[in-house]
């Protein structure tokens, strides 16, 4: 009898928990619906010109990224995840691709909304790396081999935020420490080839977070990291960026 009473109480607790969870989830989703999307992919189509004709890499993809939201785009290799990410940054064109259709709406806050797909390069230079940050999949190709880590970490801060060289260096040291890079002062003076793959990946993360972007795109950010580093650096740091700076995260 006592055993049966305990089971009934447990069932009641489970039902109560599930009811509260469902109610809170519905309230959260309604709250998201009331907010304007930070970024919207609307019927995006991306093509590449090849010797055999046009190849469609992404066709008719649509989704929204709402404020305070983390969105994950999942798919098999070659399905177009990275191409979609590079399209929002308008970097796909530098790799031979073209935006053949659709819209890429980005909410710049007080500056209003802009369709990135038709923005000129002058406007994109103000957005790219400043309002939209990106953690690239391959750090060795993302980093410039002829510039030091310090030069690459401070450039965006000087150009976009108006920092002096000393202010930018101080901020760079903070970012290196946040990314858990040992001996940050010495690492700043080094070139990418002098760092391990994991350190290069951490530098790429630090660069992406440097200007406190409204939107952070992470394209397979764990590629060059071991399991522990992946957990501590790639998943926590973008989340930390969202909590501290208000950046929303889009994983590809």
Domain ranges of the chain: 36-117, 129-252
**Highest CATH level, class, for 129-252:** alpha beta
Helix (H, G, I), strand (E, B) or coil at 194: helix
Between 35 and 241, name the one with better pLDDT: 35
Task: Check pLDDT > 50 for residue 99.
Answer: yes
pLDDT of residue 119: 92
Q: Is pLDDT at 230 greater than 90 in this prediction?
A: no
Q: Which residue has the higher pLDDT, 19 or 97?
A: 97
For residue 128, give the DSSP letter. Answer: B
Q: Please, what sign has the CA dihedral across residues 188, 192, 193, 198?
A: positive
| DSSP per-residue letters across 64-103 | EE-TT-EEE----TTSSHHHHHHHHTT-GGGGTEEEEEEE
pLDDT of res. 240: 57
Least confident of 9-13, 214-218, 246-250: 9-13
Half-sphere CA count of 35, side-chain side, radius 13 A? 18
Task: Pull the structure tokens for residue 123.
Answer: 């406007």
Cβ proximity of 135 and 205 under 8 Å = yes
Percent of the chain at pLDDT exceeding 70: 74
pLDDT at res. 30: 54
Instruction: Say which DSSP state 147 is in.
Output: S
Query: What is the per-residue pLDDT across 8-19, written as a single tens digit (0 to 9) for each?
Result: 455 555 556 555
2: pLDDT strictly greater than 50: no
Bridge partners of 65, per DSSP, are 39
* Residues 99, 104, 108, 114, Cα dihedral to 10°: 70
Mean pLDDT, range 172-179, rounded to an integer: 91
Average pLDDT (80-102) is 90
pLDDT at 159: 94
136 backbone dihedrals φ, ψ, rounded to 5°: -80, 155
| Sheet of 248-251, strand order | 70-72, 248-251, 215-218, 132-135
Taking residues 232-237, report their average pLDDT. 51
Phi, psi at 209, each rounded to 5°:
-90, -10
Q: What pTM value is reported for the model?
A: 0.75
Residue 79 burial (CB count, 10 A): 15
Is the separation of the CB atoms in 200 and 144 below 8 Å? no
pLDDT, tens only, 22-78: 555 555 455 445 578 999 999 999 999 888 888 999 999 999 998 888 888 888 888
Task: Check pLDDT > 70 for residue 6.
Answer: no
**CA nearest neighbour of 221 among 239, 204, 242:** 204
What stretches of 35-190 adopt beta strand conformation (E)? Answer: 39-50, 53-65, 70-72, 97-107, 113-115, 132-135
Give the confidence band of 250 by pLDDT, cuts at 50, 70, 90. low
Quote the mean pLDDT of the chain. Answer: 81
Is pLDDT of 155 > 70?
yes
């Amino acid at each position: 009898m006592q055993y049966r009473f305990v089971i009934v109480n447990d069932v009641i607790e489970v039902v109560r928990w599930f009811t509260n969870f469902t109610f809170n989830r519905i309230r959260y989703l309604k709250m998201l619906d009331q907010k304007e999307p930070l970024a919207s992919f609307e019927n995006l189509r991306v093509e590449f010109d090849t010797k055999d004709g046009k190849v469609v890499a992404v066709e008719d993809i649509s989704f929204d990224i709402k404020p305070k939201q983390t969105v994950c785009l999942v798919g098999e290799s070659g399905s177009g995840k990275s191409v979609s990410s590079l399209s929002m940054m308008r970097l796909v064109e530098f790799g031979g691709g073209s935006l053949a259709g659709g819209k890429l709406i980005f909410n710049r806050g007080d500056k209003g909304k802009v369709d990135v797909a038709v923005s000129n390069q002058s406007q994109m230079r103000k957005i790219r790396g400043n309002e939209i940050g990106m953690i690239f999949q391959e750090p060795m190709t993302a980093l410039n081999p002829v510039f030091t880590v310090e030069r690459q970490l401070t450039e965006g801060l000087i150009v976009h935020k108006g920092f002096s060289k000393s202010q930018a260096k101080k901020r760079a040291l903070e970012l290196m420490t946040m990314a858990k890079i040992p001996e940050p002062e010495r690492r700043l003076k080094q070139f990418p080839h002098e760092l391990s793959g994991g350190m290069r990946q951490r530098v790429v993360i630090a660069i992406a977070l440097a200007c406190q972007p409204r939107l952070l795109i992470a394209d397979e950010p764990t590629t060059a990291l071991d399991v522990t580093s992946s957990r501590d650096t790639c998943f926590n740091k973008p989340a930390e960026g969202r909590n501290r700076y208000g950046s929303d995260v889009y994983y590809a």
